[in-house]
Structure 1
């Protein structure tokens, strides 16, 4: 059996569930090279409401992330995980995908947030330094570039060493990659709290070029710290999440730079700050934001109609489940003039919290079944679907962002839910133990 219980952070913090917002933050994401103890389903046998499980791919056990590609009329799902890369054809029946091809890289870690280039039919897989028995102290990290122009025969085009490797994300239409995390290596600056972002030019996918100079420094009240992931919105603003909050950047075009106080051209190597900053400690005590979503060109309903919001997850593990990481919803108002880049410990800037949601104590939850931290999520219309590790997959009505409401859940007794994605009316869940669960919301 694969080590399904290895979490994206490989870190557990032992602190009281009553951790105060002003106390020392729970450790998160990459601070410990030792794997956490396996979560045991010792409570309820499981819980399901308003969800139909229509399919499962057990041969994808060890799955961590997934993405979709179109080949004319063909619909293909790319699944990455501890096995490497597997591809499935969903064309005939999206509830029963057919395995078509594989690039075997057994022991790969971690490939979180697998990115695909839909035009060039490429998949980018990140290698964490803890892959193949390595450690964050001195393990090798990098990026695999895989050609999936023929899904039945995926081909590795290249592999390049990168000083970071927990996640890698496309910017500028996948001509460049931003790669970040995890905890810093022994040969990196002692005052870093984690690895920032390195930029890789993949315009020639057979010969990637890594910039020697990292970016997104001084993100945590002036300290260079752990960048976990990057999500690009529909306006092509890249939102960078990690310890210290969520900050958005223009990566192309000419824009006003609120930090430098002038107009300048944004590039993947020298992005222009847009908005964002730290999330209030009352909402996210650890200050560690795992991933985010900015609904560009959309204004939310409810009490915050007409306001610009950013959704993010805190990844944090504490004893007893009650203090584990939550979904946070913050207003970007007051952050458009570089406030998030000027924040210091003496004069901290924090985004205003609009709403939060955590799985502890919610219907369908079982604190005995293990990790309860928030993880990846996806949004379709007004329904947000999110993974909460052993607490399974949760569906939230976010029509009023000040009051997210659970409307459905799917928590098998052996859940290790990492990443859900909406696609063709279904939700495909990368579950590190179960493979891929295919769900249909029935509410």
Structure 2
């Protein structure tokens, strides 16, 4: 672990020399490196913050603040000008990796973020300085953005690779999950009604097998749990007693072409427009043959499948996928179901090509899909690790297309998130700007501006720059064992 962080720091220092704002066509670095940059004409780099070794972040709805999870702790930034984040406060925290930051804010002004300690973490500014090794959560109070502090630490039964607030106020949160004390698949439910005295209130059976990965709560309050055995939708109106609504079918099970490794995270736009289909209306079977006119608003579940265990080309590694949801009453009040027994069917899948071509990229250390974000115009921004940021057109979810990219060849993009749009008072208005924050522990924070096309392209955009395979291939054998172990996320199965 120490070697991995040292390697990150070394790369970050090289990349960070003299950069504050850069042109999108090239990056000239002082001294040791000249990093090539390739981007589509509609993606512009407007700023880079190389000191911010960011892994994940969350945004306040009430104020123009970003809460960043970095390799060195928690940082609070004022993003009144989203192109120029200004540091307000920070908390030193030796932890890794908390790859999906979660944030709770309440009308009384209480604000906090949750840190999942997996595989390890320590709180030097808190009374308890013991080292956590995968089953513990730290609650960091950020009510005063200039003085964040650890309010409490919570021991859990199950794994805390990610921890997710179950509602906006974050009175409860769910862990990614692993096994209960009897060895059965389970996740922990944490009570956060008093953040300073948080505790594990319940251990609940999981329907994604013994390796859960993440939770995403859509705009209607439906919770989507991803993991080894696919994706499951829950009614969490009673957060202590989640009820299964539906799940991916057998093609979401581990070992299939749609889940070579693990379902990682989800997006479900337009959930408020969803209506259950009657059995006679269901479009079943031949799912990959389905056309856009057969898919109704709110019926698309977007899934990131993470997979970096199949070297060859990026086509063999983890992909961004669309799945078709036609009903949310498949299971009648069950709290646990057999994995793969639902009716959510796959539609389309997309993996990183050599930019504007249909040629599969040769896999370097890692080119799996990772964290993504949805823009209401119908576009997804997504991080592809060494393959940079890709902008995908999902207006026809049965035919995913790439319409933009940002790529340097020396990077490790963990996520790409649209920045919320805000009113004059700084409150989020439910829409998004055209700025993307790209989270990269090696480059720092890249701030990108995206211009959407007027029409969907016939194929991906033409590449208007020379590219060398050598530029984008970094064999895993050239990286340290520690870094490879770090990137494995310890998803043992």
Residue equivalent to 1:3: 5
Q: Determine whether 1:99 maps to 2:87.
A: yes
Residue equivalent to 2:371: 376
Q: Which runs of 5+ in 2 are unaligned?
A: 9-34, 123-131, 276-290, 422-432, 453-493
Between the two structures, name the one with larger relative contact order (CA 8 Å, sep ≥ 6): 1
Tell me, in whole angstroms, the C-alpha distance in 2 between the residues paired with 1:117 and 1:78. Answer: 11
Q: Secondary structure at the match of 2:395?
A: coil
Residue equivalent to 1:432: 441
Tell me, in whole angstroms, the C-alpha distance in 2 between the residues paired with 1:435 and 1:268. Answer: 36
Question: By percentage of residues, which structure has more helix?
Answer: 2
Question: Deviations along 1:176-225, whole A, 9 cap, x unmatched?
Answer: 010124x66xx9555x5xx63100000011101202x42242x25xxx32
Q: TM-score by structure 1 length?
A: 0.76
Using the TM superposition, give the Cα deviation of residue 357 of structure 1 relative to its aligned residue in structure 2, in angstroms. Answer: 0.9
Choose which of 192, 197, 203 in structure 2 pairs with 1:207.
Answer: 197
**Residues 279/327 of structure 1: CA separation in 2 closer, same or farther (3 Å cut):** farther
Q: Determine whether 1:81 maps to 2:81.
A: no
Using the TM superposition, give the Cα deviation of residue 165 of structure 1 relative to its aligned residue in structure 2, in angstroms. Answer: 1.0
**Residues 110/398 of structure 1: CA separation in 2 closer, same or farther (3 Å cut):** same
Residue equivalent to 1:156: 150
Using the TM superposition, give the Cα deviation of residue 366 of structure 1 relative to its aligned residue in structure 2, in angstroms. Answer: 4.6
Choose which of 31, 49, 60 in structure 1 pairs with 2:52.
Answer: 60
Residue equivalent to 1:48: 39
Using the TM superposition, give the Cα deviation of residue 237 of structure 1 relative to its aligned residue in structure 2, in angstroms. Answer: 0.8
Q: 1:385-404 alignment to 2 at 5 Å? A: 385-404=381-400
Residue equivalent to 1:139: 133
Q: 1:16-415 alignment to 2 at 5 Å? A: 45-49=36-40, 50-61=42-53, 63-69=54-60, 74-91=63-80, 93-106=81-94, 108-119=95-106, 120-131=110-121, 139-163=133-157, 164-173=159-168, 174-181=170-177, 189=182, 196-211=186-201, 213-217=202-206, 219-220=207-208, 224-252=209-237, 267-278=238-249, 280=251, 283-286=257-260, 288-295=262-269, 296-298=271-273, 302-306=292-296, 308-317=299-308, 318-320=310-312, 321-333=314-326, 336-338=329-331, 342-343=337-338, 349=342, 351-363=344-356, 366-367=361-362, 369-381=364-376, 382-415=378-411
Tell me, in whole angstroms, the C-alpha distance in 2 between the residues paired with 1:272 and 1:436. Answer: 38
Using the TM superposition, give the Cα deviation of residue 59 of structure 1 relative to its aligned residue in structure 2, in angstroms. Answer: 1.5
Question: Deviations along 1:47-67, whole A, 9 cap, x unmatched?
Answer: 211211111121211x11101
**Residues 392/160 of structure 1: CA separation in 2 closer, same or farther (3 Å cut):** same
Tell me, in whole angstroms, the C-alpha distance in 1 between the residues paired with 2:370 and 2:325. Answer: 22
Tell me, in whole angstroms, the C-alpha distance in 2 between the residues paired with 1:283 and 1:166. Answer: 24
Using the TM superposition, give the Cα deviation of residue 143 of structure 1 relative to its aligned residue in structure 2, in angstroms. Answer: 1.2
Residue equivalent to 1:22: none
Q: Which runs of 5+ in 1 are unaligned?
A: 7-43, 133-137, 253-266
Q: Is the contact between residue 230 and residue 339 of structure 2 (CA under 8 Å) also seen in structure 1?
A: no
Question: Deviations along 1:118-141, whole A, 9 cap, x unmatched?
Answer: 322111111113446xxxxx9352
Tell me, in whole angstroms, the C-alpha distance in 1 between the residues paired with 2:6 and 2:343. Answer: 36
**What is the CA RMSD across the aligned residues, in angstroms?**
2.9
Using the TM superposition, give the Cα deviation of residue 147 of structure 1 relative to its aligned residue in structure 2, in angstroms. Answer: 1.4
Q: Secondary structure at the match of 1:60?
A: coil
Tell me, in whole angstroms, the C-alpha distance in 1 between the residues paired with 2:243 and 2:101. Answer: 25
Using the TM superposition, give the Cα deviation of residue 344 of structure 1 relative to its aligned residue in structure 2, in angstroms. Answer: 6.4
Question: Deviations along 1:69-103, whole A, 9 cap, x unmatched?
Answer: 255xx511110022110111112x21011112101
Residue equivalent to 1:21: none
Using the TM superposition, give the Cα deviation of residue 442 of structure 1 relative to its aligned residue in structure 2, in angstroms. Answer: 2.8
Tell me, in whole angstroms, the C-alpha distance in 2 between the residues paired with 1:335 and 1:94. Answer: 37
The number of residue pairs the alignment matches comes to 370
Q: Secondary structure at the match of 2:196?
A: coil
Q: TM-score by structure 2 length?
A: 0.69
Q: Is the contact between residue 372 and residue 388 of structure 1 (CA under 8 Å) also seen in structure 2?
A: yes
**Residues 47/59 of structure 1: CA separation in 2 closer, same or farther (3 Å cut):** same
Q: Is the contact between residue 239 and residue 246 of structure 1 (CA under 8 Å) also seen in structure 2?
A: yes
